[in-house]
Chains A and B, each alone.
Chain A
Amino acid sequence: MRADRPRGWRLVGRYTVLGVVAAVVLFPIYAVLLQALKSGPDALDHPSSLLPTHLTLDTITTAWTDGNLGRMMLNSMLVSLLVTAGVMLTSLLSAYAFAFLRFPGRGVLFVFFVATMLVPAEVTVVINRRTADSLGWLNSYQGLVVPALASTFGMLLVRQMFLTLPKELHEAASLDGVGHLRFLWEVAAPLSRPTLGALGLFTFLGTWNAYLWPSQVITDEAHKTIQIGLEDLKTPGDISRFNLITGGLVIAALPIFVMLVLFQRQLVRGLTAGAVKG
């Protein structure tokens, strides 16, 4: 398309706008990264603290060791992976039922699923903590993982994708006597790979960044995730640790950032796939 391909000054203008906007969006990240790469008086020596001078990894390594962040990163990683795998599985199954199967009460059930999406965590958290308590799941991985395993968002996303698959595909398969599970595994799921990829990424991001529920269900160091561990770095009344927060922030956001750089295109493509013929 010609309109999409500006030349000459318009091209320069476009890059300028893109560059300026990107700089504004990225500025907070840059400032914090820089703060984290300085230590001691340098970090507080304003306003020159915005220039990349006297860079050191001290703050980050101190945050890492003082905050016991290694263990927390592992916990976050484990929990995020388990939840991601689980959500993809439950979403595939329920999406299949809603997309391909006809049964009485389907509409009502569908509305039920969607309605649960609107229940704020603020409403459920007190009782859920008590449920986890009575199950003996406080301070445990099950307590972090199990309640997050069902996702209506995931079901909707996958169902949307399934609906774009030609109906004949499913009809032909069931005429050939192919079972539901086999069709799901061998046909529907592989065809929905981009969507599943996007779902996986979003679920991973969401779980990695979860704050409220982990803070309720976990108290001990052994099971703490990185998000709630970060707060320990922000000790009230202690100015000397102010800078450590930035080191912790960089560590917490880094894995996600790397993932984003690697998979950003897949994320968009996965979301587009289901939407095209919604």
Chain B
Amino acid sequence: MRRSSRTPFLVVAAAGLFVAACSGGDSITDTGATNPPQTTTADGSTPVETLAPTTSVAPDTLPDCPTSALADAAGTVELTFWHGMTGPLGEELDSLAAAYNASQDAVKVNLISGSYEETYDKYLNSSQSSRPDMVQLPEYTVQGIVDTESVVPVGKCIDDAGFDLSHFLPVALGAYQTQGVQWSMPFNVSNPVLFFNKKVFEAAGLDPASPPQSLEDLRAYAQQIVDSGAAKYGIALDSGFDSGGGWYIEQWFAKAEEFYVDGDNGRTNRATKVLYDNDTGVELLTFLQDMINDGLAVNVGDNSGTGYDNLLKLADEQQPAAMTIATSASLGPVLDVLGSGQFPQITGDDVGVGPMPGPGGAPGALIGGASLWIVDKDDPVKAAAVWDFITFLVSAESQSEWAAATGYVPVRDDAADVEPYATTLANDPRFAVALAQLEASPEGLTSAGPVVGPLREMRSVLAVAVAAILDGADVKASLDDAAEQANNLIADYNARNS
């Protein structure tokens, strides 16, 4: 009987594949017929400049929204609503929907939940008949959903019903608008804010009542914290694609009143390339890299483990950070957890909240969160029923309840005058920071944020570059590389979807 050896086979096979494989170079999205569309002039020569495809939306061709059609319904209209709220957020949305269902008998809403990514992917991959009547999707999906040509723009309903928008935050509405069309209705609005440990601020001789406003302040504060030994690090930075590696960079560009992609952030023309590899981007990321190099900041990585690795760094017992940037939507849960006293380093009362520091102390923010879309089921009654439910969800009363329970910013300013949110704000001014920051946003399309088909994929690409930069890689080269990949993604997306 011979001795049989099996692992060598694996190794040989693996080695073979590996050797055969060592020739790559191009990006996976750089394959096939994905070059930017080339326009040829009449005489056959290539024009000097490649023009952005102008795809202005003709509002006449979009589906209508006769909001009075609900009156024609025979019996109760059943609606399916896919949303991305899980855990306690999902329970809160459930209770809002239950209140709506109980308040009238014309419409009954059935809720189906999944993560944002899951909901978006399932929406894209489903046939129109399997799609829900209404869907909640995050801010990065705007162009992607518009391109499916499967929705009734809420703007049509707003016009038809003469719906009053005067109390709505312009920056929230603007985020879901392109080429003059209001595509969807903002529902849950968040934006990044600065979380800090008041105790550490005091120990470092800083005033917890005046958190840093500008990036320069941020650095000075961090320096003082580290020098005084009040905490090991000034700030915890991350490179997650929906936080420090992507979304925050978009925020900083908005604060600097600069466009992130061309076509006026993709809002007047379809975007064809990113702009973040410019001086603003290089300056910004060099600033962050220096913070780490100088021991003022700590990099907690891509934040994918828990989604709150950066916040946990404030509670770290050995090497805590004093500050971090996180979405305002986590304020409620964070206070809940710290309130139970599990972390000796920081309690709920120790948490301070300030605006997200920006270049030159510029105020303002882009909204994150999600909006409500009406799916085109070729049925005016359904569209009208969805619209009815949407008006309920964005009423001052519902928004007040929603904001008080979750920490999201209400989409309208009069929600702050209605209970229970009025009391929340009065008792805890920390909840007002995110709202004030949004209201301070400068006017203009830079404050509406980028709309571009593969925004989610672009964030992934940029997140890798940010991670590399925080690890010490060359800033300009990393951004150029990310920009090139992002531009490939956009070209590929536009070629496939327009």
Give chain A's interface residues, CB within 8 Å of chain B. Answer: 40-41, 44-45, 126, 129-130, 133-134, 136, 138, 215, 219-221, 232-233, 235-242
* B340 at the A interface (CB under 8 A): yes
B54 lies within 8 A of chain A by Cβ: no
CA distance A45 to B342 in the complex (A): 7
Q: How far is the CA of A45 from the CA of B337 in the complex (A)?
A: 14
Asked if B127 is at the interface of the complex by the 8 Å CB criterion, the answer is yes
Q: Which residue of A lies closest to B304 (CB)?
A: A236
Contact B330 A240 (CB under 8 A): no
Interface of A is mostly: helix
B295: interface (CB < 8 Å):
no
The answer on a CB contact under 8 Å between A219 and B82 is: yes
C-alpha spacing A232/B341, complex, angstroms: 25
Q: A219-B82, A220-B112, A239-B333 are in contact. Are A41 and B340 (CB under 8 A)?
A: yes
Q: Are A40 and B127 in contact (CB under 8 A)?
A: no
Cα–Cα, bound, A158→B211 (Å): 71
Would you mind naming 19 contact pairs between A and B with Cβ atoms under 8 Å apart? A44-B342, A133-B127, A134-B127, A219-B82, A221-B112, A221-B113, A232-B87, A232-B113, A233-B87, A236-B307, A237-B307, A237-B327, A237-B329, A238-B88, A239-B333, A239-B334, A239-B337, A240-B336, A242-B306
Contact of A126 among B125, B336, B340 (CB under 8 A): B125
- Are the C-beta atoms of B308 and A241 separated by less than 8 Å? no
- Closest residue of chain B to A137 (Cβ to Cβ) is B130
The 7 lowest CB-CB distance pairs between A and B, nearest first, are A236-B307, A235-B87, A239-B337, A237-B307, A240-B337, A238-B333, A220-B112
Contact with A along B434-459 (1 / 0, CB 8 A): 00000000000000000000000000
* B210 interface contact, C-beta 8 A: no
Given contacts A41-B342, A238-B87, A238-B333, contact A129 B114 (CB under 8 A): no
In angstroms, Cα B126 to Cα A136, docked, is 11
CA distance A237 to B336 in the complex (A): 12
Interface residues as binary, B295-331 with A (CB distance below 8 Å gives 1, 0 otherwise)? 0000000000011100110000000000000010110
Which residues 274-312 of B have a CB within 8 angstroms of A? 306-308, 311-312
Chain B nearest CB: distance from A123 CB in Å? 16
Taking a contact as CB atoms under 8 Å apart, the answer to whether A40 and B130 are in contact is no
Bound CA–CA A143/B226 (angstroms): 58
Decide: A239 near B87, CB < 8 A? Known: A134-B127, A138-B126, A219-B122. no
Q: B330 — which chain A residues lie within 8 A by C-beta?
A: 237-238
Give min CB distance, B214 to chain A, whole Å: 27
Chain B residue numbers with a CB within 8 Å of A236 are: 306-308
**Known pairs A40-B340, A133-B130, A238-B87; A219 contacts B308 (CB<8 A):** no
Residues of B contacting A138 with CB < 8 Å? 126, 130
Contacts of A219 in B (CB 8 A): 82, 112, 114, 118, 122
Q: How far is the CA of A129 from the CA of B130 in the complex (A)?
A: 11
